[in-house]
Amino acid sequence: MEMLQEVKNAVAEYSPAMVATVDKTDKPNVSAKGSLRVIDDEHLLFADIRSPRTIANLKENPQVAVICLNPTTRKGCRIWGKAQIMTSGDLFDQLTKEYAARNMKVNHVVKITVDEAVAF
């Protein structure tokens, strides 16, 4: 699904985003992601710096929900999609280099294929 410009703007402007996952026993987890960004019209990504539960959940169930919110204006977006965990490739290398400059280690990069997105 192609994201509207309003959704892309919300992802770029409102940080951290909250990313929700669920494990195979249906136990939910929500994690703040300051690295969430738009890759193209149909994909987002974030870096796993310290997110062992998020990654474990995504390995069991790739479905993900994201909310980006400005608490003052109550503007933002909701996004639903399917995650792919990456440990190599151009995007992984790019984020690894970017975060190394900040003395942070990227363990995984999570690419989200957007199924549905709404701005509010």
Instruction: Enumerate domains of the chain plus CATH numbers.
Output: 5-119 (2.30.110.10)
Amino acid at 15: S
> DSSP secondary-structure letter at 61?
-
pTM equals 0.95
In angstroms, rounded to a whole number, what is the distance separating the alpha carbons of residues 38 and 36? Answer: 7
Cβ contacts of 63 within 8 Å, gap of 6 or more: 21, 22, 80, 81, 82, 83
pLDDT tens for the chain, residues 1 to 120: 899 999 999 999 999 999 999 999 999 999 999 999 999 999 999 999 999 999 999 999 999 999 999 999 999 999 999 999 999 999 999 999 999 999 999 999 999 999 999 999
| Cα 33 to Cα 17: distance, rounded to the nearest angstrom | 5
